[in-house]
Amino acid sequence: MPPPELSLAERETTSHNAAALEALKRGEPAVWLKPDSPAAPRLEASVTLADVADAVARLERFRPALQILFPRSGWDGRINSSLIDYPRAAGFPLLVKADHALPLTGSIKARGGVYELLCRIERMALSDGLLSDGDSYEALVTATAAEVFSRHKVVVASTGNLGFSIGLVARAFGLAADVHMSRDAKAWKKDRLVQLGATVVEHDCDYTLTVAGAREAAAASGSDFIDDETSRELLIGYATAADELIAQLAERGLVPSKAQPLVVYLPCGVGGAPGGVTFGLKARLGDAVTCVFVEPVASACVFAALAAGGGAPLSVYELGADNLTIADGLAVPLASALVLEVVGSSIDAVVALTDEQILTWVRRAWREAGLRLEPSAAAALAAVEPYRQAIAARPGLDSAIHIAWTTGGSLLPDAEFERLLA
Ligand SMILES: *Cc1c(COP(=O)(O)O)cnc(C)c1O
């Protein structure tokens, strides 16, 4: 089901939000701040912490299978990332949640996208008799299993990283994979998928239309469609990152509180990855965490929906934006309706950045910290100063723990990365 849309004229836009929208319409960087309202954030019952606990258990069951399929010395089969210090004399501590170096796929999609795929694989394995209660999931990497999986096909649509991640892991288990790529997708991801035996279907259009095309193709062929715009499981997979982060903070003696709040900067495309992380963090930490979404000015779809009000997605084209950005992972013109429903009222701020601001941070992160980030991930770092400036008048900022969530880039080929640095 495509998400319902509400045109700009059908909404009530407050004057505060109207100013933020005007900046976006001019193609300028902008910060949207959640208006002060007495209403507590509403965490929808359609996703619960029990779902997240279930996901953690499922990922644990898959650990031995993933270790066999993706051998890497010293890897324990867990899809997690480190929390590192950003080395810079900025006068405040800045940490980096290094999802750009996640195992398997080098992007945050290894959490949500791969988790949803594993849910599907588990269901196939149970219904096809590959698994019974208590079996080790090593049973999913036998020749018999691969033969069974080869009769199944998954279909996915992507601006690059989701398709790359789903295709890579699906092929490792032996599933057929049709990956529909929007015009944003980089050639190296498509080439790599073809080498792995996935079918890449190229669309000369944006992400939203590519999803619609892929959804139709999947329905026509009766295949499993992994739907980034509407999937609960994707969101739940991303939410598992919250407890991982909270434990890493605790190891450093950091326990977020109202006196020492956490501020996380989350790059946002359709909203699933930042939305899932926000769900998990808000459920655990409540007011002690501030969730800042980060988008390119040209593709600020969550910004647009929140600033326009009304709770429904709003296409960035209605604002005159063109959805053309160097941050291919974030090049989405319309936010997920599910994400807006589940965490829309929990999003504290959205920072919209120009490509130039983002590129500056691709270079700085490399020069200052040796981090190989794609533009979508560097956006998290680029958002820190604009957000701090936007809330400079508020108390409590000095003690906050700032975390930039670097969502992808470690697998960028040298030539791609050098082009960004040049
Ligand atoms: C997909 C992606 C995001 C955003 O995730 P959404 O679920 O689309 O909001 C951010 N950064 C990178 C590198 C990504 O690939």
Which residues contact ligand 1 via a Cβ below 6 A?
A: 107-109, 161-162, 267-274, 329-330, 374, 376-377, 407-408
Residue nearest to ligand 1 atom 1, measured at CA: 329
The secondary structure of the chain in percent helix, strand, coil, rounded to multiples of 5, reads 50, 15, 35
Give the closest residue to 331 by CA, choosing from 385, 285, 276, 376. Answer: 376
Going from the Cα of 329 to the center of ligand 1, the distance in angstroms, rounded, reads: 5
Per-10-residue mean pLDDT for the chain, 422 residues long? 58 69 92 76 72 96 96 92 86 91 95 96 94 90 95 93 94 96 90 93 93 93 89 95 98 94 97 97 96 98 91 92 95 94 94 98 95 98 95 80 96 95 92
Specify the pLDDT at position 1: 42
CA 365, distance to chain mean position in Å, is 20
Going from the Cα of 179 to the center of ligand 1, the distance in angstroms, rounded, reads: 16
Q: Give the β-pairing of 224-226 and 199-202.
A: unpaired
Going from the Cα of 112 to the center of ligand 1, the distance in angstroms, rounded, reads: 10
Going from the Cα of 327 to the center of ligand 1, the distance in angstroms, rounded, reads: 10
Spatial contact of 149 and 94, defined as CB atoms under 8 Å apart: no
CA 132, distance to chain mean position in Å, is 33
Q: Which of 168, 189, 228, 268 to mutate to test the pocket of ligand 1 (most atoms within 8 A of CB)?
A: 268
Specify the pLDDT at position 14: 62
Cα 98 from Cα 82, distance rounded (Å): 6
Cα 224 from Cα 189, distance rounded (Å): 21
Give the closest residue to 29 by CA, choosing from 297, 324, 340, 306. Answer: 297
Phi, psi dihedrals of residue 126, rounded to the nearest 5°: -70, -45
Specify the pLDDT at position 276: 97
Going from the Cα of 194 to the center of ligand 1, the distance in angstroms, rounded, reads: 22
Residue nearest to ligand 1 atom 6, measured at CA: 269
Phi, psi dihedrals of residue 180, rounded to the nearest 5°: -90, 120
Name the DSSP class of 397: -
CA torsion through residues 97, 100, 103, 107, sign: positive
Q: Which of 81, 97, 109 to mutate to test the pocket of ligand 1 (most atoms within 8 A of CB)?
A: 109
Residue nearest to ligand 1 atom 14, measured at CA: 329
> What is the model's pTM?
0.94
| CB-CB neighbours of 354 under 10 Å | 17
Q: Which atom of ligand 1 is nearest to the CA of 112?
A: 7
Name the DSSP class of 133: T
Q: Give the β-pairing of 153-158 and 224-226.
A: parallel
Q: Which of 189, 303, 330 to mutate to test the pocket of ligand 1 (most atoms within 8 A of CB)?
A: 330
Residue nearest to ligand 1 atom 15, measured at CA: 329
CA torsion through residues 389, 390, 393, 395, sign: negative
Per the listing, tokens 């190891």 go with 251
Residue nearest to ligand 1 atom 8, measured at CA: 269
CA 334, distance to chain mean position in Å, is 15
Q: Which two tokens stand for residue 229?
A: 């715009």
Name beta bridge partners: 351. 31, 294
Spatial contact of 91 and 154, defined as CB atoms under 8 Å apart: no
First to last CA, the chain: 42
| Sheet (strand 199-202) strand order | 199-202, 176-181, 153-158, 224-226
Residues sharing a CB contact under 8 Å with residue 84, sequence separation 6 or more, in sequence order: 95, 96, 98
Per the listing, tokens 């691969």 go with 146
Q: Which atom of ligand 1 is nearest to the CA of 234?
A: 7
Q: Which of 97, 107, 235, 292 to mutate to test the pocket of ligand 1 (most atoms within 8 A of CB)?
A: 107
Specify the pLDDT at position 311: 82
Specify the pLDDT at position 38: 47
Burial environment of residue 54 by CB neighbours within 10 A (0 to 12, 13 to 18, 19 or more): middle
